[in-house]
Amino acid sequence: MDNELSDIIEELRRYLNYLKSIGMEEIPVANFRMQNAECGVEIKNSVNQTSHSYPKIQKPELRIQDSKLTEAKSLEDIQKEMSDCRMCKLWSARKNIVFGSGNPHAKLIFVGEGPGEEEDIQGLPFVGRAGRKLTEIIEKGMKLDRKDVYICNVVKCRPPENREPEIDEVRACKPFLEKQIEIIKPAVIVALGRPATATLLNNKKVTISRIRGIWHEYKLVIKLMPTYHPAYLLRYYTLEHRKQIYEDMKKVVEELNKK
Ligand code: URA
């Protein structure tokens, strides 16, 4: 019963998100009499047998999409599943969906917040200024090859003006991120910045400066290291921050070497 109820609530939540994403500001309710059955879905009220009509809107095939996502066996399957994603409002301005890049069998995943302008143009994560900083951290700091790790973001479409992704956008995109992680099965996840850390730890109240450098767990099984976002280093660069990121990444390398 509990499961059934949470399924219904989840479905309702997604449906409301969908309505919002197509620009509906009100919920269609059965408060008017049906004029023409052709214009909508007819509902017979079993108590007084009045008919109501809902405006015809293209209902998203959420269950079908969801079950396809559950069945996805590879990153390509997920990518295919989201190829025309309109689950949140970010779809309308995107040039490309930025799915992720790197080694599909990586032991290490970096998760950022969302694509910026350059990423949106190229369809690849972390290829702009922050991306160059991240590459420097991976290659100079950790002595790893960028192509051996996997890099992706919480949301796969660019938020306008590079703002933080909003709660409905994160909710809509999170199942894709979770599935990516499930398929790659990394040993370690590095969460870059507050939004990625909050999303992966399911805790909206995290303060990155307090929890960075401390091992956490993603879904009780994968080690997760929160650290500063590379864009933060570009904006508020101090030697202290740089030192802290490098210390955090040293812990990550030590952990990977144990595996
Ligand atoms: N910032 C992010 O969080 N992700 C990117 O892909 C680029 C910049």
Query: From first to last of its 259 residues, what are the pLDDT tens digits of the chain?
Result: 567 777 778 778 776 776 665 555 556 543 333 333 333 333 334 444 444 444 444 444 444 456 689 899 999 999 999 999 999 999 999 999 999 999 999 999 999 999 999 999 999 999 999 999 999 999 999 999 999 999 999 999 999 999 999 999 999 999 999 999 999 999 999 999 999 999 999 999 999 999 999 999 999 999 999 999 999 888 876 788 889 999 999 999 999 999 7
Q: Which of 113, 146, 154, 200 to mutate to test the pocket of ligand 1 (most atoms within 8 A of CB)?
A: 113
Ligand 1 pocket check for 175: Cβ under 6 Å: no
pLDDT at 2: 67
Ligand 1 pocket check for 153: Cβ under 6 Å: yes
pLDDT at 234: 86
Q: How far is the CA of 115 from the centre of ligand 1 (A)?
A: 5
Which ligand 1 atom sits nearest the alpha carbon of residue 98? 6
pLDDT at 23: 54
pLDDT at 44: 39
Q: How far is the CA of 126 from the centre of ligand 1 (A)?
A: 5
pLDDT at 235: 81
Q: How far is the CA of 234 from the centre of ligand 1 (A)?
A: 13
Does pTM surpass 0.85? Answer: no
Instruction: State how beta strands 222-227 and 188-192 pair.
Output: parallel
Which ligand 1 atom sits nearest the alpha carbon of residue 119? 6
pLDDT at 118: 98
Residue 179 CA from chain centroid, whole number: 10
pLDDT at 46: 40
Ligand 1 pocket check for 112: Cβ under 6 Å: yes
CATH topology (fold) of 72-258 = Uracil-DNA Glycosylase, subunit E (3.40.470)
pLDDT at 35: 34
pLDDT at 126: 98
Question: Longest Cα pair distance anywhere in the chain, in angstroms?
Answer: 73
Q: How far is the CA of 35 from the centre of ligand 1 (A)?
A: 50
Q: Where in the chain is the domain with CATH 3.40.470.10?
A: 72-258
pLDDT at 11: 73
Which ligand 1 atom sits nearest the alpha carbon of residue 230? 1
